[in-house]
Amino acid sequence: MKYVSTRGQAPALEFEDVVLTGLASDGGLYVPETIPEFSQEEIASWAGLSYQELALKVMSSFVAGSIPEADLKDLIDRSYSTFRHQAIVPMVQTGHNEWILELFQGPTLAFKDVALQFLGNLLDYVLKKRDQKVVIMGATSGDTGSAAIEGCRHCDNVDIFILHPYQRVSDVQRRQMTTVIENNVHNIAMKGNFDDCQNLVKASFADQSFLPEGRQLAAVNSINWARIMAQIVYYFYAGLSVGSPARKVSFSVPTGNFGDIFAGYIAKRMGLPVDQLVIATNSNDILHRCISNNDHSKKALEHTLSPSMDIMMSSNFERMLFELYDRDGAKIAELMEDFKSGSMTLGEAQLSKARELFSSYRLGDDEMIDVIRDVFENCEYLVDPHTAIGVEAARKTRRNNDVPMICLATAHPAKFPEAVKKAGQKEDPALPHHMSDLFDREEKCEILDHDAQVVRDFVASNCRA
């Protein structure tokens, strides 16, 4: 399997090279040269497989020619051995044909664990085979950082530097990152917002001259194709759980950087009979504005009670544009240049196609709090603010009540006590046992100005020999 850039000018790469490269040399994102497809009969034959067995079926085509099946199986088994629930991603019913897919059963209580536990093991495997060391530099709006650190903390050949926006993540999210005291783990609280962190990381990938000799940057955020690949699996797992492929299934996805819902789109392309894909956003609603009004323009970022979605530049939307424009790399490069100046506009045919593929909905903080309260009062199930937005988006945009609607629960409610208490809970939701002492642990974090040179100097001086 070869991988190509969304901007059409970078060389095609093998899977292992894509895992280590991150952004393509032309600034684009790597995608498979072809999307694997499965027949309805083959998908039906997967019913009853464990999550790990299903992951092997789904992922094998994407790594063909790079990783032997026995090695891939071992990577998958080790990656999901850290999850608290044997189903890995269990489902809970909250209404008629309405389900919550719990993606937070991993070690850091967020959906990012599903991909990043796998990516950490995958990186270790590839780097040991090549006798190579890399520097991971990533930006997080809350959950990616802790999941990436947990996945890579024991990697001998990785130094990891995670940037989060100073004072703009929850206390639990921050402490999950800053209390990991390892020689290869470095947390940077950068003064600015998530987009500032993400832009600095992207610029660093474009010019890596600041790194020590022999090192290169590797990506753990959702620009890394391996993360998208790992996320595709739970769409198939959830669909099979409610009767697919014999019946259609819909998904509502709390959406910030567009990686999670793009994985759902790829699952549909691979043969899963998906009826609706719902883009659920908070007041930072560029994706909703794009789908509903063809308004993909930058606006001031708002600080909300669903901070993991406080994003105005959704990196993975470029992958979707590549598909909407029939893989025309030159056109994507042109669109991304337009967006740099503040706005881009989709062509009529592409907008029409996007609206066929996606529904969208926007929810503010006050309405989101009402949803947390409503779900709890009706079925005594507590959702986090991001999941609440997904639930309401599903209810408001749903076209067919006979089709199961699965809302992706992206985080455990204990990570967002402020929102949960505003919804009427008298006490902070309890952290799971393995994290019960989180607020007693030592923290280690560097607070830096929004200055690229300062950040790069810190990275360069803290890489291990």
Q: Please, are residues 275 and 248 in contact by the beta-carbon 8 Å criterion? A: yes
Tokens 């498979």 belong to 32
Q: Please, are residues 359 and 277 in contact by the beta-carbon 8 Å criterion? A: yes
Question: What is the Cα–Cα distance from 340 to 12, expressed in whole angstroms?
Answer: 25
Supply the DSSP symbol for 110.
B
* Helix H or strand E segment including 185: strand 185-190
Which residues are annotated as catalytic? 112
Give the pair of three-digit tokens for residue 48: 């009853």
What single letter denotes the amino acid at residue 111? F
Q: Please, are residues 411 and 308 in contact by the beta-carbon 8 Å criterion? A: yes
Peptide bond into 107 cis (omega under 30): no
Give me the DSSP letters along 376-411. HHHHS----HHHHHHHHHHHHH---TTS-EEEEE-B
Q: Please, are residues 179 and 443 in contact by the beta-carbon 8 Å criterion? A: yes
Tokens 């209390």 belong to 179
What are the residues whose beta carbons fall under 8 Å from the beta carbon of 62, sequence distance 6 or more? 1, 15, 32, 36, 225, 229
* Cα atoms in the 13 Å half-sphere on the side-chain side of 103: 32
What single letter denotes the amino acid at residue 35? I
